Amino acid sequence: MAVVTTEQTPALTHVRQDGTAAMVDVSAKPETTREATATGTVSTTADVMKLLGAGGLPKGDALAVARIAGIMGAKKTPDLIPLCHPLPISKATVDFELEETAVRVFATVKTRGPTGVEMEALTAVSVAALNVYDMIKAVDKHAVISDIHVLAKSGGKSGDWTLQQTPAEGNLA
């Protein structure tokens, strides 16, 4: 029995009809101000979080290093993600929320261009989280990086949206 649906399945934008990869042509798209915010989590122990908060880790100030690394990651996204367009990033921030047994990483990236900055925000979070892990691994080799995802985006043809539930809750808006 055939399933009939009234909604059209969106096509993958980076795949040609023959199945090969392609960079999307954004030359006809209008430049708009675009911004994206992403987050991720580095889970560790309460003892490590105390060291992190007090700046007492063997490698030094982990959050300062991770912040700079995350910003650099956003700027290097097209070098890491093959089909990403190089964009003139006008803003990149990386911030941290310290919890009892985890560090939440937040990155916001902004540009004025023909395509969005979700990948740059995700890269910034990922690189910052990797650097937190690198800075704490001497005292916790079992730290876990998880839950990296986009929280919000604005600008462009598809407009603005904000995540209504976390991916763990299984329903993205």
DSSP per-residue codes, 16-81:
-TTS-B-----TTSPPEEEEEEEEEEEE--HHHHHHHHHT-STT--HHHHHHHHHHHHHHTHHHHS
Range of the domain at 148: 32-153
Residue type, 72: M
Global confidence as pTM:
0.86
pLDDT at res. 162: 94
pLDDT at res. 60: 87
One pLDDT digit (tens) per residue for the chain, 173 residues: 444 444 555 666 777 788 788 888 888 888 999 999 999 999 999 999 999 999 889 888 999 999 999 999 999 999 999 999 999 999 999 999 999 999 999 999 999 999 999 999 999 999 999 999 999 999 999 999 999 999 999 998 888 999 987 655 544 33
pLDDT at res. 6: 47
Q: Which DSSP letter does residue 12 get?
A: P
6 belongs to a structural domain = no
Among 18, 47, 61, 134, which one carries the catalytic annotation?
A: 134
26 belongs to a structural domain = no
- CATH for 47: 3.30.70.640
25 belongs to a structural domain = no
Q: How many domains does the chain have?
A: 1
Active site annotation includes 134: yes
27 belongs to a structural domain = no
pLDDT at res. 173: 34
pLDDT at res. 158: 83
pLDDT at res. 25: 82
